[in-house]
Structure 1
Amino acid sequence: MRMLDIIEKKKRGGILNREEIAFFVQGYTRDQVPDYQMAALLMAIWFRGLEDREVLDLTLEMAGSGETLDLSDIRGVVVDKHSTGGVGDKTSLVVAPMVASLGVPVAKMSGRGLGHTGGTIDKLEAIPGFSAALDKKAMVDTINRVHMAIAGQTANLAPADKKMYALRDVTGTVDQTGLIASSVMSKKIASGAQVIVLDVKTGSGAFMKREEDALELAARMVSIGKGLGRTTAALVTDMNQPLGEAVGNSLEVVEAIRTLQGKGPKDLYELCLALGSQMLLGAGRTGDPGEAKKLLQEAVASGAALATFKAFVEAQGGDGAYVDNPGLFPEARHVAEVPAPRSGYVQAIQTEEVGVSAMLLGGGRETKDSPIDLAVGLLVRKKVGDFVEQGEPLVRIHASGRERLEAVAARLTEAYTIGDAPVQRLQLVKKVLT
């Protein structure tokens, strides 16, 4: 078998079989297929697409290219939740302890963020002592004790995907739904959970700007999960404005704690109830969506969800006092308000600009080696549909220095569209696919 023949076949619209897919995945992972040939194949795939069978086979090959986690020693049906990413998305910090407090084990592998803010691991490391460096035994033991663990992805988890994604990133082939679906699901399959719940974002602050593209991606990922025997659900959710109020690492952890206390933003809580319900349904904790939502609400109201979050933090070396007293988190040295330039209703928010502003403050990474300032970020005070008086704050900036405040404030002012006419509130959950 030759790589050139596989490239030619796909270039002409042919459907690759399992042996051909195994050949290029294994060959590229072992440095037997050069970058230039893989780049040619990826571009052919971008133009010609992938059939469902090809996506399934590609997912399996990438998942099997490195280590896979055997979670059979965990008591109960193990669930995982994944988000395609957005601005202010701290749902894992809230929904995982909500679900875990009900006795359903949650095993999550997370990476570090590259973009607006840090990833879930970066955010949790705002808590002194917290460590995501868990081997398989430590992860299993932690989940059996406190019903949840969030561990960093190992270098050998789906290494084929990691290598192929790096090439896609520099060859203009990232935005192909078959490649995206197999990339996400290969890591989820290798991570070992029996139930996978996906949060697929769409809108101005999401990777998938168009709702129809997000729906296609969600459907393909659910199809992969079903084809590989995993209970899978996907929610297509709105990212035309930041989720909650906080955008920034420590700020988002504090908001997550407030939400577990029952004091968080309504949209964040609503989304966590929707995601958590699917996790409970998939695990068989209940078969009734209404009952699932009620169980999650009771877990928050009783304090069980917050107690589980504290137990999880302490189990992974973190200082539980920060959960009891969020005022201990570091605060930025400078705080400034972004005033509304006129009175009216918030018509739209260019959400990606809000995310970029947080990154420019130091809250995210421009490159993989960029340091993160855990204290900086934004608090979004006005959302789409809100009425605002001229001079009233739209956003509160938390910065470590004054030098970037003015530039970020100007950027945030431009991100808001304010008009005279009232507008409808945005629909948060657009569709649920199971």
Structure 2
Amino acid sequence: MEKIRFIHCADLHLDSPFVGLKHVPPELFDRIQNSTFAAFENLVKEAIQKKIDFMIISGDLFDEEDRSIRAQARLLNQFNLLNDFGIPVYVIHGNHDHLGSFRLELDMPRNVHVFNKETEVKELVTKSGSVVKLAGFSYGTRHIRERRISDYPKQLEADYVIGLLHGSEGSVHSSHESYAPFTINELKEKNYHYWALGHIHQRQVLHHEPPIVYPGNIQGRHRKETGEKGCYLVELLDHDAVLEFISTQDLLWEKIEVSLEGVERFGEIFQRISRTAEEYEGIDDCLLQVVLEDYQSLSPEMIEAIEGGDLLQALQTDLQTGERIKWIHSIKLSRIENVDIDVKDPFISDVIAALTDIDVEEGVKALAEIYEHPSLYRYIDPLSEEELSHLVEEAVDLILHPARNQ
């Protein structure tokens, strides 16, 4: 049996809108807007350089249901490049880019193989002669709430069998049920060599034998998606697997914490943040969120200057033109570490705990039924993850500091 080598990626979210950024210089704004495309171009370069046998994309190629022609055209260019190097691509569509959404049908090159809404099996014979069978399905509509794992066949005759699935891991009673839910045991029972998952943006290996893998998204899209983003280069030889994470992001979203202990003047705050940002050593150009800690000694006027945006505007001067870009996109007070201050009411304490434990992505999903209600959908614009996160923070602040918010 010959070794096979492939790249597994997911959640490209091409053409993501990147909402919530303020006072960004035009040149940096353009780069942010193009970062998802740049990340996929980085990924394709890696695929060509590594001479992979094939590529798997496990859903959410586009960010919006009504995908732009620009996004489709730029994706097509990269698929054509892979075709020039004889690299097949196997694609399932997820909840963001389901098959029922509007799209201008562009002719895909022959190396691109898209799965239908019903679970199907596609076969590939690699250049070395290995027979690979891939099982998967694309979302026909935005919400796939039922369990689809039973549709995947068990006994497939091939050197290697790979499952593609865009969905949420969890038990029957899990909060992740709304998107093609499954359990690890259900996947293991299929006896596949590899499970190529998508939908969760934080990369994680759920199981090693066989590998059950979320690669995460290829480019962070907001302050919650910090750290390196990318794909996995996978080598399989029989049931032995080697996984190598490859970074693809064009820009890093990162968080730096700055202590204001002992600070008495506004200028000291400015200097501490500037020094911490300058000393931060990221692996790539960065979009930084500053989290201020130990700020209890600050006066109400200083707090107001911070929350009103005066401090942020003072720090956002010229875009750095050195070796690395370090753009401060937001400043926030560390609410969480101060939640237990002056909170003696157990009910209020429980409410704050519930708010601060909210998973933002799941919160957006939980609101989906309201957005789709026949009497409401015309009047409500869906909240983004960033907007919901801000609402949660404001709610906690309102509970903790009612007088300051009157």
TM-score in terms of structure 1 length: 0.27
Higher relative contact order (CA 8 A, sep 6+): 1
Q: Report which of the two structures shows the higher radius of gyration computed on alpha carbons.
A: 2
* Larger helix percent: 1
TM-score in terms of structure 2 length: 0.28
* Larger strand percent: 2
